[in-house]
Structure 1
Amino acid sequence: MIRISYLYFVLFALLASGFVLQAQPYKNPNLSAAERTHDLLSRMTLEEKVGQMLCPMGWEMYEQNGDEVSCSDKFKNELQKKHTGMLWATYRADPWTRKTLDNGLNPEMAAKAGNALQRYCIEETRLGIPIFLAEESPHGHMAIGTTVFPTGIALASSWSEDLLTEVGAVMANEIRLQGAHIAYGPVLDLARDPRWSRVEETFGEDPVLSAKLGAAMVKGEGAGDLSNENSVISTLKHFVAYGVPESGQNGNASSVGMHELHQNFLPPFKAAIDAGALSVMTSYNSIDGIPCTANSYLYRDILQNDWNFSGYSVSDLYSIEGIHGSHYVAPTIQDAAVLALEAGVDVDLGGDAYTKLIAAAKESKIKEDLIDSAAYRVLRLKFEMGLFENPYVDPLKAKQEVRNEANITIARKAAQQAIVLLKNTNNLLPLDKNIGKVAVIGPNAHNRYNMLGDYTAPQEDSNVKTILDGISTKIGAKNVEYVKGCSIRDTTWQNIEEAVAAAKNADVIVVAVGGSSARDFKTSYKETGAAVASSTTVSDMECGEGFDRATLGLLGYQMDLLRAVKATGKPLIVVYIEGRPLNMNWADENADALLNAWYPGQEGGNAIADILFGDYNPAGRLPVTVPRNVGQVPIYYNKKNPNAHNYVELSATPLYPFGYGLSYTTFEYKNLKVEKLANDKFKVSFVVKNTGNYDGDEVAQLYLRDEYASMVQPMKQLKHFKRIFLKKQTEKELSFTITEDDLSIVNRNLKRVVETGSFKLMIGSASDNIRLESTLRVD
């Protein structure tokens, strides 16, 4: 008995000293991520490897019991049967998931849920592989208790890389504090059709603006340095050309040529990957007859071979099944799964398509090496993130630091920088805080969810500031009268007469109209989470995934409301809260002041009030073109030659051009200097002076036009921009370096080249407001 006890003691000592680590190298933190991944793969069964390629929905994988959270039986079964390596939207709460403020997870409980899931994976499975938790985060983590920022199109209106980096850092930190690891976003689709329902998620119509802002957000989210405890894996959406569907309908085929793909749609993704993004999501559309989720040219040729992408690709929700059931190019789900994997799609989001790969491999319908490669890409990132050593988080820290005061301050700053002043007749704005009575009117004046956009979790009322809240805080509630007037879409109710009465009693009128992406429990949803428009259920929702528009006019009684309050003769300020560029023709002609706030997030009401009363000088610039009429669509500033001609009944020019936005002050551009450097580089410098009476920001924009090229080129193309702050009557010299990349075009062989010739250099405050010009010559 003594000898046996001694042998047990020696064995225990060897185990404790790390002897077993040599037998299982993947558990040795001193080895490289690549070495550990190869070792782990060598120990895995085919079923376990396929499991790492699965990412089912996560909100049913936990159970709450008072202050504690545990794994659900569904999760245990999922893990035991499928060896699942990843979950999506575990912390998500919205009408689709049926998770509310009452039964959803606050940050502390989310951290506990993540810990419970990890503990089961590590302690109750054969190999102890931690699980990845992927979360939606296009403009804030889509979970209860997190910070809600302006939507993508609003963030893009800031034209500020610094702001996007700051916002990205907050989102990444809040995700990691709760125990998740992957952020779905930024959205880099170019939006050239405002009928499309997801314009709000994008950074607009331009490849350079989208590229720079997308890269800036990725840098804020950790720039691929997964050893940092605050870094996330940024998942870029949606690969590729998803934002230009036929008829403006979400998921429709995209008519995009190969040259256009390389010239405009791919560069934002390339820039974000170069900045450190480690995941790319496929898109629902097809290009030239090939579903993007089954397009090997995109994932094998471009991502892996041309760009040396070291991360992983993931399908959009059920898009692998869509190869079979939507595009009809695969007779069975297994055939669709084979096509997707052969194309280079590593992870199956939401569905069961990739479980069919097990039988496909055993039947030699697909090479197991492809499964090994996909599983490797996922597992290596788990090692790089340190999940095998540090899988757990501190719930108390999550409770204290998610949506703290510092993060809320950044949300207000983001909303301020995003708001675009479109019109200000006779300098009505800013208002004097002693103006007297203000009538605050309209369906978006005091609707909290309409401030937030799609992909937003349920909110406590106190967390979201409306326009009514913001104005009341500025001048006192006794000086404000609020009347809703009408709804966004519902025509069964209105109280326009009451709104007119309030307007007559006021010294100035603020009317908030526009649209809504606010989901509710009456709306029906597809299995993908996209909303379904219904004639029997009339919510405010007229935008957000699945809510495509045939027209761009204000819905419901909103135009009647505007005309009625205008007739009072009182000064009229119109604020658009919207997710797409809606028709603003009437407001442009009749309002005394007009602002576009997009969906400004939880601090939007405060930010709008800051601008209305002069506590912040607006400097937002449009990242998209605002058309005069839906008949102009698609309309975007960098269209290719030739120049547009007028329609029979309408000007071809937009109502508001790309890059446009007003300020309470004025700026002068002068002293342009162009210096030619080596290797076809040019240093461009100029001076911007604040010539007005207010301190404020200016957004300087540099455009180029290739005068003659071997391929048809845009009439002008943004290349550089900079948002700067100037005190009144002060000036600053700015400089940009124009590089070979700025001068290059994609030629007929789809290669980037710099051709000999002249380039027109244009610098100004908008695409149609050029202040300085020169010519560059490339010899």
Structure 2
Amino acid sequence: MRARQPLTAIVISLIALLLLQPLHAQEKLPYKNPKLSSSERARDLISRMTLEEKVGQLLCPMGWEMYERKGNDVTYSAKYKALIDSQHVGMFWAVFRADPWTKKTLANGLTPELAAKAANALQQYAMEKTRLGIPVFIAEEAPHGHMAIGTTVFPVGIGLASTWNTSLQEQVFQAIAKEVRLQGAHIGYGPVLDLSREPRWSRVEETYGEDPVLSGAMGAASARGAGGGNLKNPFSTITTIKHFIAYGIPEGGHNGNSSIVGPRELQESFLPPFKATVDAGALSIMTAYNSIDGIPCTGNGYLLNDVLRGAWKFNGFVVSDLFSIDGLMGSHRVARSIREAGTMALKAGVDADLGARPFSELPLAVKEGTIKVGVIDTAVFRILRLKFEMGLFEHPYVDPAQAKTGVRTAAHITLARTAARESVVLLENKQGTLPLSKNIKRIAVIGPNADTYYNQLGDYTAPQDRSNISTVLDGARAKLPHAEVLYVKGTAIRDTTQTAIPDAVEAARNSDVAIVVVGGSSARDFKTEYIETGAATASGESVSDMESGEGFDRSTLDLMGNQLELLKAVKATGKPLIVVYIQGRPLNMNWAAENADALLTAWYPGQEGGNAIADVIFGDYNPAGRLPISVPRSVGQLPVYYNKKIPRGHDYVEGPATPLYAFGYGKSFSSFVYSDLKIEPADKGFTISFAVKNTSTINGEEVVQLYLRHNVASTVQPIKQLKQFRRLQVKAGETVQVNLRLSDYDLSVINPEMKRMVEAGTIDIMIGASSEDIRLKEAITIRDTASLPLYR
């Protein structure tokens, strides 16, 4: 006979059995009830979790090794199973990423259909093979398109900013979000809201330029396009904005170096773009690698707790940049160990550890008494609430068939072409050189960026099938099917051993006109070395084209290699010279500005860039792109951003202090006249109206810009500051009435006591076509001083 078990043993066995049951056997648990609020469900789930399970939700390791592909079948990898089983990981980064760093290629990476299958396999294991059945978050790089194979590649951030078109920006990020979600991911890293006031810095291309108002407007449009924080929309993503904060002004232009910025300038310029984008629905913020006044941004409790969550009421979660928590020990040396770095970051308000090393030691920190479980619970709640809000517990899977047909659709490709066309900035057009006639018999297309298709795309781009990318050469051939189009590369971006300048000269001599495409490249290749964060390192072992992109900081802004020699040689033929800069930062354009018959920049225009540039050159599109960043004459001028504090700098011994091309500048094939400025008081501000007439015979677009300047204020103010802008379509001969509004916040300053005030006095209102091309001006008078909350 079997001996009876004691009652206590039976109870313990039943409890253990219940805990080990798969999720489907626990349907009545409150966190499984979709009728409860997301907050209620998250709190109930947290109450059932072990400390190790809680910490697992805060870990975000790299994800491209989490699947195994065998032909058209994809399943989870042994490494994924081990991470879920041992560390209960709740979030993965870059599962679908493909590039030389991840060693995922067109051959072994994931198509959109396979990506969806991979996501389903990861979710199935997490949902069905774990004690609590918590779905995983998948976070993906998506600053100008999802960084995965088979997706749509839009212009980089600095190009999108050149459109000055927030409506278009919304459409672009709506498309990106849909492609991310169709493949089974949930979080999109981007937009990048760092103000770029240091063009030597390697990541200028990712940003929206030097101005807080333009950056904030584009960032907010990105968040709205990605769903505006409404996670119940099946194609909404969690928008992760980065990098918090002042990352784009590193000392010496060195990526990740400390940033010198005061608390007032932080409030006036660097925080507003993030605030605008949070208000538009961004639910995740990434910390920055840099420090400010001795405090690393990944450990800055004032910024993350007091400002972000206290003053702004941000209700999303904060994620570290990759290994930036580790950097509290290794880079900044404010922590003695990885564990101390983890507790420091968590207390400062970081919720998720991208890289997953310091936070993995949080259970030991709890046992040592250096961190309380309640602090961990708070971070876990912020992440789990969004998983419930997104409906992942009920709908964790996606349809691979929809991913196959819904990613890189014809509509998205058309949108990419529209964005690329609107991003092209026409800088010079002497004697009306452009548009070119399509009756040209012979044309030379020359240069390192004329047909190097990866150089069109920018950083954070996956491997591409050549047929999906249009280069300038492709665009020219499509426009001129009956002409002879001669192509010579001429030289490389950096490598001076790759030269065919005599061949380029011969092609130009034998042509009616020469298009020379120069600039830079962020195209990563297998020759480039990478550190563990994915940033590239400059190496003397091989010469790639890369001179921009994360990790490629510059000491000059000159064209590299033999590019200037190429330009001069082609110019010497006497043939009309059209120069196109494809670039990730404002490179030196002095020679081209003086000698080219026409000069354009398209930044990195994305997969449809070549067609878009050809649309402009051959007159099928009238350009209206405007510079979101000043183009300096020399690095000796830096910084040269337009809204520096007064007084205006005097000229140098060697030359002007002004930039070569100012913020907001750009030409058109049309001409516009501004008139009839009227300014009227309105509730808590002013309304401004004026007329814009297209005086040409060509339909066009104009970007009207409103700047203001305080004549006297309690603190030193900018020379001028953009406050409103509008991109208008104006037909030939048509007059369009423009109405703008200035709010009390637009008119305010932050006084010596760090209080926001609308101060009595006069303010100059300036309307123009760029920061240096002011067409209308009138002063307004503020009669009474008023106090405002620091944040709107």
Please indicate, yes or no, whether the TM-score normalized by the shorter chain is above 0.5: yes
The 1-side partners of 2:121 and 2:434 are apart by 54
2:113 pairs with 1:95: no
After TM superposition, the runs of 4+ consecutive aligned structure 1 residues lying more than 6 A away are none
Greater shift in the superposed pair: 354-363 or 125-134? 354-363
2:426 pairs with 1:398: no
Residue identity opposite 2:691 in structure 1: V
- Within a 5 Å distance, the mapping from 1:425-436 to structure 2 comes to 425-436=430-441
Residue identity opposite 1:451 in structure 2: Q
Per-residue deviation, 1:21: 4.2
2:201 pairs with 1:206: no
Secondary structure of the residue aligned to 2:746 is helix
Aligned partner of 1:322 in structure 2 is 327
Secondary structure of the residue aligned to 2:74 is strand
The 2-side partners of 1:610 and 1:146 are apart by 23
- Within a 5 Å distance, the mapping from 1:418-457 to structure 2 comes to 418-457=423-462
The 1-side partners of 2:541 and 2:478 are apart by 38
RMSD: 1.1
Aligned partner of 1:483 in structure 2 is 488
Residue from 204, 223, 227 that aligns with 2:228: 223
Aligned partner of 1:708 in structure 2 is 712
- Contact kept, 8 Å, 1:147 with 1:407, in 2: the verdict is yes
2:607 pairs with 1:607: no
Secondary structure of the residue aligned to 1:304 is helix
Cα deviations across residues 607-655 of structure 1 (Å, max 9, x unaligned)?
0000000000000000000000010111100000111101111110110
The 2-side partners of 1:526 and 1:704 are apart by 44
- Within a 5 Å distance, the mapping from 1:222-261 to structure 2 comes to 222-261=227-266
1:433/1:478 Cα in 2 relative to 1: closer, same or farther (>3 Å)?
closer
Per-residue deviation, 1:753: 1.8
The 1-side partners of 2:359 and 2:726 are apart by 45
Aligned partner of 1:504 in structure 2 is 509
Per-residue deviation, 1:478: 4.6
The 1-side partners of 2:750 and 2:194 are apart by 20
Aligned partner of 1:755 in structure 2 is 759
Per-residue deviation, 1:749: 3.1
The 2-side partners of 1:605 and 1:532 are apart by 29
- Within a 5 Å distance, the mapping from 1:535-546 to structure 2 comes to 535-546=540-551
Residue from 729, 733, 736 that aligns with 1:729: 733
The 2-side partners of 1:320 and 1:193 are apart by 25
The 1-side partners of 2:296 and 2:762 are apart by 39
Secondary structure of the residue aligned to 1:162 is helix
Residue identity opposite 2:627 in structure 1: L
Secondary structure of the residue aligned to 2:258 is coil
- Contact kept, 8 Å, 1:619 with 1:698, in 2: the verdict is yes
Per-residue deviation, 1:362: 1.5
2:779 pairs with 1:775: yes
The 2-side partners of 1:748 and 1:396 are apart by 60
TM-score computed with the length of structure 1 as normaliser: 0.97
Residue identity opposite 2:381 in structure 1: Y
Aligned partner of 2:143 in structure 1 is 138
Residue from 587, 592, 601 that aligns with 2:592: 587
Residue identity opposite 1:214 in structure 2: G
Cα deviations across residues 142-196 of structure 1 (Å, max 9, x unaligned)?
0000000000000000000011001010000000000000000000000001100
Greater shift in the superposed pair: 748-757 or 309-318? 748-757
Greater shift in the superposed pair: 670-679 or 29-38? 670-679
- Within a 5 Å distance, the mapping from 1:96-245 to structure 2 comes to 96-245=101-250
Residue identity opposite 1:756 in structure 2: A
The 2-side partners of 1:113 and 1:260 are apart by 45
Number of equivalent positions:
762
Cα deviations across residues 522-579 of structure 1 (Å, max 9, x unaligned)?
1000000000001221000000000000000001010110010100000000000000
Aligned partner of 2:17 in structure 1 is none
Aligned partner of 1:666 in structure 2 is 671
Per-residue deviation, 1:751: 2.8
Aligned partner of 2:721 in structure 1 is 717
Cα deviations across residues 309-349 of structure 1 (Å, max 9, x unaligned)?
00000000000000000011111111111110010000000
Secondary structure of the residue aligned to 2:514 is strand
Per-residue deviation, 1:124: 0.2
- Within a 5 Å distance, the mapping from 1:656-695 to structure 2 comes to 656-679=661-684, 681-695=685-699
- Contact kept, 8 Å, 1:445 with 1:466, in 2: the verdict is yes
Residue from 52, 67, 77 that aligns with 2:72: 67
Secondary structure of the residue aligned to 2:344 is helix
1:19/1:117 Cα in 2 relative to 1: closer, same or farther (>3 Å)?
closer
Secondary structure of the residue aligned to 1:48 is helix
Secondary structure of the residue aligned to 1:481 is strand
Aligned partner of 1:8 in structure 2 is none
The 1-side partners of 2:727 and 2:282 are apart by 25
- Contact kept, 8 Å, 1:70 with 1:113, in 2: the verdict is yes
Cα deviations across residues 23-43 of structure 1 (Å, max 9, x unaligned)?
x10000000001100000000
- Contact kept, 8 Å, 1:262 with 1:750, in 2: the verdict is no
Secondary structure of the residue aligned to 1:743 is coil
Per-residue deviation, 1:20: 5.3
2:768 pairs with 1:764: yes
- Contact kept, 8 Å, 1:321 with 1:351, in 2: the verdict is no
Per-residue deviation, 1:351: 3.1
Secondary structure of the residue aligned to 1:488 is coil
- Contact kept, 8 Å, 2:217 with 2:276, in 1: the verdict is yes
- Contact kept, 8 Å, 2:640 with 2:658, in 1: the verdict is no
Greater shift in the superposed pair: 747-756 or 369-378? 747-756
1:690/1:341 Cα in 2 relative to 1: closer, same or farther (>3 Å)?
same
Residue identity opposite 2:487 in structure 1: Y
Aligned partner of 2:650 in structure 1 is 645
TM-score computed with the length of structure 2 as normaliser: 0.95
Secondary structure of the residue aligned to 2:427 is strand
- Contact kept, 8 Å, 2:493 with 2:518, in 1: the verdict is yes
Secondary structure of the residue aligned to 1:266 is helix
Residue from 47, 56, 80 that aligns with 1:42: 47
- Contact kept, 8 Å, 1:626 with 1:657, in 2: the verdict is yes
Per-residue deviation, 1:19: 10
- Contact kept, 8 Å, 2:456 with 2:605, in 1: the verdict is yes
Secondary structure of the residue aligned to 1:396 is helix
1:477/1:122 Cα in 2 relative to 1: closer, same or farther (>3 Å)?
farther
The 2-side partners of 1:378 and 1:749 are apart by 37
Residue from 332, 341, 364 that aligns with 2:337: 332
Secondary structure of the residue aligned to 2:326 is helix
Aligned partner of 2:4 in structure 1 is none
Residue identity opposite 1:703 in structure 2: Y
Secondary structure of the residue aligned to 1:565 is helix
Residue identity opposite 1:702 in structure 2: L
Cα deviations across residues 181-231 of structure 1 (Å, max 9, x unaligned)?
000000000000110000000000000000001001110000000000010
2:416 pairs with 1:411: yes
The 2-side partners of 1:196 and 1:477 are apart by 44
- Contact kept, 8 Å, 2:109 with 2:149, in 1: the verdict is yes
Per-residue deviation, 1:693: 1.5
Secondary structure of the residue aligned to 2:776 is strand
Aligned partner of 1:472 in structure 2 is 477
Structure 2: runs of 5+ lacking an equivalent: 1-20, 784-792
1:19/1:283 Cα in 2 relative to 1: closer, same or farther (>3 Å)?
closer
Identity %: 62
Residue from 304, 307, 314 that aligns with 1:299: 304
The 1-side partners of 2:348 and 2:73 are apart by 43
The 1-side partners of 2:425 and 2:95 are apart by 35
